[in-house]
Structures are given as C-alpha cells and as structure tokens.
Amino acid sequence: MMAKIVYDGKGCVFGRLASVVAKDLLKGNFVDVINCEGIVISGDKKLFMKKILAKRKMGSGSSMKGPKYPRVADRLIKRMIRGMLPWDRAKGREAFRKLRCYVGDRKEEGVEVIKLKHKKPMKYFTIKEIMGLLK
C-alpha cells in the first residue's frame, strides 16, 4: 500500500533524514520533504563547500556534458538523497520519482508532518547558509 509521508527538515541532520527518506521511497511510498533550507549538515563548512564547488565545476565548461549540480536548496537536497538510492537500477529510479522536496512550509489537509528528533552535532551548518555563500 502506497502512502504519502511528509517530513519536516527544519533542524534535522541531513544524513539521518536522508536514510529514513530513502528507506520509505524504496518501500514504495510517496515522500515530501518540507523546509529543505533548514536541514542541518554536520562537519566542516569549508570542506563541504569545496566538494560542492568541485562537483559544480565538473559540469561547467564549453560542452554540455558532465554532472549538473543544482544551485537551489530543494534541488540540492533531492540530488543528495538520490545518492542513497540504487540509481543504476529501475527500482531506484522509480523510487526517486516519488520524492518531492520543497523550500518553506507546505501545509496539506489530512497529512501528518513527521519531525525527526535527534541530537544536533557540535559543528554544523544549514543548507540556507551554504546557498547564501554559493550564489
């Protein structure tokens, strides 16, 4: 039975949220992630920025080849969740089509929003901070 599940990303650690979302997608559920700009990433901000900029640089150039890396918070989160799915198989691609990510709140009638509870790491930053630095 396919269900619609809505997760609130505000204050959630990305890796923990993404693993739960990926499992739900592989079970066949439709998943929405709201407040993508409030998702927390643990670790060093400079190192994360360096990785994102390197991936973005690979996709730019005179030809239209290479990995396209997004510049908007919701698309970046969606792309990062894609890394936790078996993208090379039909099952993973089908699961990815059932994922929707949104910036800000999206209230829907009759759908319960799930807020994951876990302890924040000592060193962390939000997706909103990264998006401000990348523009």
Average pLDDT over residues 105-109: 79
Phi first, then psi: give them for residue 16, nearest 5 degrees: -70, -40
Handedness of CA 71, 54, 18, 37 (dihedral sign): negative
Where do the domains of the chain lie, and which CATH numbers do they carry?
Answer: 4-134 (3.90.1180.10)
Looking at residue 108, its amino acid is: E
Q: Which residue has the higher pLDDT, 72 or 33?
A: 33
User: pLDDT above 70 covers what percent of the chain?
Assistant: 93
Could you report the per-residue pLDDT of 70-97, keeping only the tens digit for each? 888 899 999 999 999 999 999 999 999 9
pLDDT class of 106 with cuts at 50, 70, 90: confident
- Average pLDDT rounded to a whole number, residues 11-26: 94
pLDDT tens digits, residue range 111-135?
888 988 888 788 889 988 888 877 6
